[in-house]
């Protein structure tokens, strides 16, 4: 319960963070990769991910997980053990659940299970995935899947994601929106953005 | 779960209050295609609940039913008094797909309304890619509602009202006298939108931000709340 409230506080504080403009064109994610967007978006960092929206995160959102390392959660806020108070550990207490973590040898099925379990905690309702299939991300072999859930606001939402494991890290981009109107309105834009993703060649960037 | 929901509502009020909320706002952008546009009254999404000493809210069906009746009366009185042309939404059979569509559009309306409140009326949080435009929609699916009443616009209303239980009232008194700390009681809040039935575009929006006033359990107070919700609605 306390963890749920902590998560809610973090999400609410994040909701007070202003968005910044992402103009149409090329967008770089530090040393991880680039995408091309055909339209302007609103961007704000949240936790260790990049989130884009046009009308608000509860209406539609693109989320970029850029290089989740082996043994890490998709977002820091989902790391139950790291968020467990040291004093409780000192008194011999342990968290009553374990974090869902990415491991570099996970299969596509396992990664999608990790995603749905993680998203369920963020959304506060059960996220179900379908249509898992091979795909590429930035030219690397990966996977594609679709997902759906009904939010606490009773609004049905659907989404899709494309991911790949490269250099032992997970790269995953997904798009979600309300089943009525907002998902459909910008799905094609999201598809183009994901198709445009390229990994940054670190050696070429030096010098 | 209800305890969590209650806690989250309080947290949201505190944190969003910190973002700088105001009492209520109005935006007007009604496009007139006819001399007297006709408004279809959608069934309002109203819930009244009791707030316990612990801060949780428990839905009260009897209060909700009374509030729906009071609001229906107050709404029609108000629209008649301002000379607005309106028709009732004729609900389809429960088995009809359009019955589910209405529920989903009402839920979407509340979510879109919250987005408008947060990302349009809060200047610091505005979405830069919108370039200052008041541009929000429920989508073209709304056009299906036009099959259930001849009108140009649909009026969506979302209203939540809660009242302190006797135990919470006692807690308020004790907290004020002994600790000197105010404990909030019931809260009333609402959203109201006029939606273009051809496009789904929200052409007018008003919000009654959380306030510890109003009482939808009585017709007189319902009239006052309805007047605030429909303030400056174009006709």
Model pTM greater than 0.80? yes
pLDDT digit string, tens, across residues A68-84: 999 999 988 888 777 76
- Domains of chain A: total: 1
Q: Please state the domain extents for chain B.
A: 2-14+25-229
Residue A135 pLDDT greater than 80, yes or no: yes
Question: Quick check: A47 contacting B, CB < 8 Å?
Answer: no
By mean pLDDT, which of A17-21, A61-65, B72-76 is the weakest? Answer: A17-21
CATH number at residue A73: 3.40.1000.10
Q: Kindly list the residues from chain B whose CB atom is less than 8 angstroms away from the CB atom of residue A41.
A: 129
Report A:187-206 residues touching B (Cβ under 8 A).
none
Q: Which domain holds residue A30?
A: 2-205
* Confidence band, pLDDT 50/70/90 cuts, at residue A99: confident
pLDDT tens track of chain B, all 235 residues? Answer: 333 444 444 444 444 444 433 334 555 545 555 567 889 999 999 999 998 888 888 999 999 999 999 999 999 999 999 888 899 998 888 888 788 888 999 999 999 999 999 999 888 999 999 998 889 999 999 999 888 878 899 999 999 999 988 888 888 888 888 877 877 788 999 999 999 999 999 988 999 888 888 899 999 999 999 999 988 887 7
Q: Which among A16, A21, A58 has the least Cβ separation from residue B111? A: A58
The C-alpha of A33 sits at a distance from chain B's nearest C-alpha, in angstroms, of 23
Report A:7-36 residues touching B (Cβ under 8 A).
8-9, 12-13, 15-16, 18-22
Contact call for residues B129 and A21 (beta carbons, < 8 A): yes
Question: What contacts 24+ positions apart, CB below 8 Å, involve A108-115?
Answer: A108/A132, A108/A134, A108/A142, A108/A143, A111/A143, A111/A163, A111/A165, A111/A170, A111/A172, A112/A143, A112/A145, A114/A74, A115/A74, A115/A145, A115/A147, A115/A161, A115/A163, A115/A172, A115/A174
Q: Kindly list the residues from chain A whose CB atom is less than 8 angstroms away from the CB atom of residue B115.
A: 55-56, 58-59
Q: Kindly list the residues from chain A whose CB atom is less than 8 angstroms away from the CB atom of residue B3.
A: 1
Residue A2: closest CA among chain B residues belongs to which residue? B4
CB within 8 Å: B127 and A156: no
- The pLDDT score that the predictor gives to residue B174 is 81
3-state class of A57 per DSSP?
A: coil
Q: Which among B3, B107, B129 has the least Cβ separation from residue A153? A: B107
Q: Kindly list the residues from chain B whose CB atom is less than 8 angstroms away from the CB atom of residue A42.
A: 127-130
Farthest-apart Cα atoms in chain A, separation: 54
Q: Which among A15, A56, A180 has the least Cβ separation from residue B105? A: A180
Stretch A52-59: mean pLDDT = 96
Stretch A146-167: mean pLDDT = 96
3-state class of B171 per DSSP?
A: helix
Tell me A116's DSSP state.
H
The C-alpha of B81 sits at a distance from chain A's nearest C-alpha, in angstroms, of 34
Predicted ipTM of the assembly: 0.86
- Could you list the beta-strand ranges (E) of A93-188: 128-137, 140-150, 156-166, 169-178
Contact call for residues A67 and A50 (beta carbons, < 8 A): no
- The pLDDT score that the predictor gives to residue A159 is 98
What are the two backbone dihedrals, phi and then psi, of residue A100, each rounded to the nearest 5 degrees? -85, 120
CB within 8 Å: A155 and B108: yes
Residue A56: closest CA among chain B residues belongs to which residue? B115
């Amino acid at each position: 319960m306390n963890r749920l409230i902590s998560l809610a506080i973090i999400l609410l504080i994040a909701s007070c963070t202003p968005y910044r403009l992402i103009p149409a064109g090329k967008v770089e994610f530090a040393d991880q990769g680039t995408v091309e967007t055909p339209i302007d978006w609103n961007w704000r960092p949240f936790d260790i991910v990049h989130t884009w929206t046009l009308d608000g995160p509860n209406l539609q959102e693109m989320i970029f997980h850029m290089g989740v390392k082996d043994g890490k959660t998709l977002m820091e806020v989902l790391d139950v053990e790291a968020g467990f108070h040291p004093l409780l550990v000192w008194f011999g207490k342990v968290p009553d659940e374990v974090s869902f973590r990415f491991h570099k040898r996970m299969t596509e099925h396992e990664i999608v299970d990790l995603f749905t379990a993680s998203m369920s905690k963020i959304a506060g309702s059960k996220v179900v995935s379908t249509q898992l299939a091979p795909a590429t991300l930035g030219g690397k072999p990966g996977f594609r899947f679709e997902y759906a859930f009904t939010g606490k606001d009773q609004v049905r939402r659907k989404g899709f994601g494309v991911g790949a494991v490269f250099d032992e890290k997970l790269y995953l981009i997904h798009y979600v929106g309300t089943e009525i109107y907002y998902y459909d309105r910008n799905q094609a834009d999201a598809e183009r953005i994901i198709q445009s993703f390229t990994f940054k060649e670190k050696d070429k960037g030096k010098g | 779960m209800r305890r969590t929901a209650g806690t989250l509502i309080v947290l949201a009020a505190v944190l969003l209050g910190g973002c700088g909320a105001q009492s209520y706002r109005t935006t007007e952008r009604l496009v007139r295609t006819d001399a007297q546009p006709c408004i279809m009254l959608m069934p309002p999404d109203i819930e009244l609940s009791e707030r316990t000493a612990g801060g949780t809210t428990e839905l009260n069906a009897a209060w909700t039913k009374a509030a729906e009746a009071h609001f229906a009366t107050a709404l029609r009185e108000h629209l008649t008094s301002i000379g607005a042309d309106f028709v009732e939404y004729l609900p389809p059979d429960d088995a009809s797909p359009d019955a589910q569509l209405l529920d989903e559009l009402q839920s979407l309306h509340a979510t879109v309304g919250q987005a408008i409140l947060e990302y349009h009326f809060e200047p610091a949080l505005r979405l830069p890619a919108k370039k200052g435009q008041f541009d929000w929609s429920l989508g073209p699916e709304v056009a299906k509602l036009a099959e259930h009443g001849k009108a140009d616009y649909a009026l969506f209303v979302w209203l939540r009202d809660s009242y302190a239980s006797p135990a919470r009232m006692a807690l308020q008194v004790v907290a004020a006298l002994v600790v000197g700390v105010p404990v909030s009681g019931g809260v009333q809040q609402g959203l109201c939108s006029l939606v273009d039935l051809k496009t789904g575009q929200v052409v007018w929006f008003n919000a009654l931000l959380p306030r510890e006033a109003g009482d939808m359990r009585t017709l007189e107070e319902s009239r006052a709340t309805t007047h605030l919700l429909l303030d400056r609605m174009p006709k």
